[in-house]
Amino acid sequence: MRFNSNKNLLLNAGLVFCLLGIGQISIADDYADNLAEGAKTTERNYMNDPFVRPAKVTSLVLPETWPIFYNRGPLDRSPKDKSSKLLTMGTGLPSANTYRFGPAMALIVNDYPYFIDCGEGWYRALNRSAITQKGVDLIKVFDLNNLKYLFITHLHEDHTVGIPSFILSPYKYGSTTDKVIFGPVGTEDLIDCIVNGWQVDRQTGTQGPTHATPEGSSATVGEIDPDTEFPGPFFEDDNVKVEAFRTYHAHGSLRYTYAYRFTTKPDGRVIAFGGDGHHSKGLIEAAKNADILVMEGCTWKNLKYAPWGGNTLQEKEKNIGALHMFPKDMKRVQEESGVKAIVMVHEQNYSSPENFNRLALLHEMQEAGVKNIYSAMDGDLY
């Protein structure tokens, strides 16, 4: 099914039509302190993990994957006067990285999670977050029957490969909650393929020794109307209102990509999830005066070290620039949207091993004039 705000279609768990006022978070006083904490070596980190320096750097063993550069664990950077929390479960790229799972976010409202994107290792990211972040009782939040809603920004593999686990892994451990998944045109076909392709798991549950019910082993899909540039509100329950906006992540046949704007009802936070892409009208609208924009970022200074995009720097500037967010683009998005803070994920922080700095892309963004921007790691709270 498709959702179009022009037809007043709202998926609902108890319709609430009143629109709440937009709240604000105080970031000015905390930003410098949070940056300082993010640069420190925390007591518990990944630097002592077993490591053998690769003889050759390839896309499999980029410097950003080396444990010697991961000198901090998850942080709680969330405002203490707000009950709703943003959890960056997975902040990684398509490239292999033990310390960054694929793109996966969770917005937690009234101890209930809403998931955005579902990259590689999604179910393991639940575990990593639950055992490393004490700012929220994630064991309670991630009760198997709470794992229901998923919002997909676009259908690239690195943002969707975790969906089989999202649907079926909780079911194997007793969940009876069928999933509800929103995304661009093509999402329904993708979910049909997953559900049909893994029939054996469903059949094992219902026909095997556990004799489980089929509830919890499937998903309902809502596709965003492709003919509406700014579809607007398409989902609302007692906790959140969600709006969708068309964005631009040019990539061959990938025509439909979306940013999602969540308004949390208990505390009025506005958090936008941009997915992948660069400056676009839709992204600006999604992030308009928001408290946080969760957005990817890519180096411009060190683009020559990118393991993809072409053989020359000129090719990489053109090809990667058509897909991703350089610092100058991020500055433009911030200025035009008025977003108060940016949580940067999916970082393309390329460099030589000798000069690699975990915070180099953050510093590059700051030098370009981007303000109140954070470099997120898996398990952080905002």
Please indicate whether residue 92 or residue 26 has the higher confidence score (pLDDT): 92
- pLDDT tier, 251 (very low <50, low <70, confident <90, very high otherwise): low
Q: What is the DSSP string of 97-125?
A: -TTSPSSEEEEEETTEEEEE---TTHHHH
pLDDT > 70 in the chain, percent = 92
24 has a pLDDT exceeding 80:
no
**Chain position carrying tokens 């997120």:** 376
Q: What is the pLDDT of residue 236?
A: 97
17 has a pLDDT exceeding 80:
no
pLDDT digits (tens, 9 = 90+) for 88-121: 999 999 999 999 999 999 999 999 999 999 999 9
> What's the mean per-residue pLDDT of the chain?
90
Distance of CA 38 to the CA centre of its chain: 19
Number of other CB atoms surrounding residue 106 within 10 Å: 23
The mean pLDDT of 221-226, rounded to a whole number, is: 93
- pLDDT tier, 255 (very low <50, low <70, confident <90, very high otherwise): confident
- pLDDT tier, 229 (very low <50, low <70, confident <90, very high otherwise): confident
pLDDT digits (tens, 9 = 90+) for 114-158: 999 999 999 999 999 999 999 999 999 999 999 999 999 999 999
25 has a pLDDT exceeding 60:
no
- pLDDT tier, 210 (very low <50, low <70, confident <90, very high otherwise): confident
**Could you write out the three-class secondary structure of 176-198?**
CCCEEEEECCCHHHHHHHHHHHC
- pLDDT tier, 297 (very low <50, low <70, confident <90, very high otherwise): very high
d(CA 120, CA 111): 24
Q: What is the pLDDT of residue 15?
A: 31
Q: What is the pLDDT of residue 209?
A: 84
The mean pLDDT of 330-358, rounded to a whole number, is: 97
Q: What is the pLDDT of residue 169?
A: 96
Q: What is the pLDDT of residue 203?
A: 85
**Chain position carrying tokens 């550069």:** 69
Q: What is the pLDDT of residue 240?
A: 98
pLDDT > 90 in the chain, percent = 82
d(CA 38, CA 377): 9
170 has a pLDDT exceeding 70:
yes
Residues 6+ apart with CB under 8 A from 318: 310
d(CA 173, CA 286): 36
Helix (H/G/I), strand (E/B), else coil: 9: coil
- pLDDT tier, 29 (very low <50, low <70, confident <90, very high otherwise): low
pLDDT digits (tens, 9 = 90+) for 122-133: 999 999 999 999
- pLDDT tier, 202 (very low <50, low <70, confident <90, very high otherwise): confident
Torsion sign, CA atoms 152, 282, 226, 255: negative
H or E segment and range at residue 246? strand 240-246
Q: In one letter, which amino acid is 132?
A: T
Q: What is the pLDDT of residue 293?
A: 98
d(CA 359, CA 300): 14
DSSP at 63: G
Q: What is the pLDDT of residue 81?
A: 95
- pLDDT tier, 231 (very low <50, low <70, confident <90, very high otherwise): confident
Instruction: Calculate the alpha carbon distances from 306 to 206, 311, 312 in Å.
Output: 47, 10, 10
Residues 274 and 281: beta-carbon distance below 8 Å: no
- pLDDT tier, 252 (very low <50, low <70, confident <90, very high otherwise): low
Residues 268 and 20: beta-carbon distance below 8 Å: yes
pLDDT digits (tens, 9 = 90+) for 259-293: 999 999 999 999 999 999 989 999 999 999 999 99
Domains in the chain and their CATH numbers?
23-44+59-381 (3.60.15.10)
The mean pLDDT of 298-310, rounded to a whole number, is: 96
The mean pLDDT of 63-80, rounded to a whole number, is: 96
10 has a pLDDT exceeding 50:
no
Q: What is the pLDDT of residue 224?
A: 94
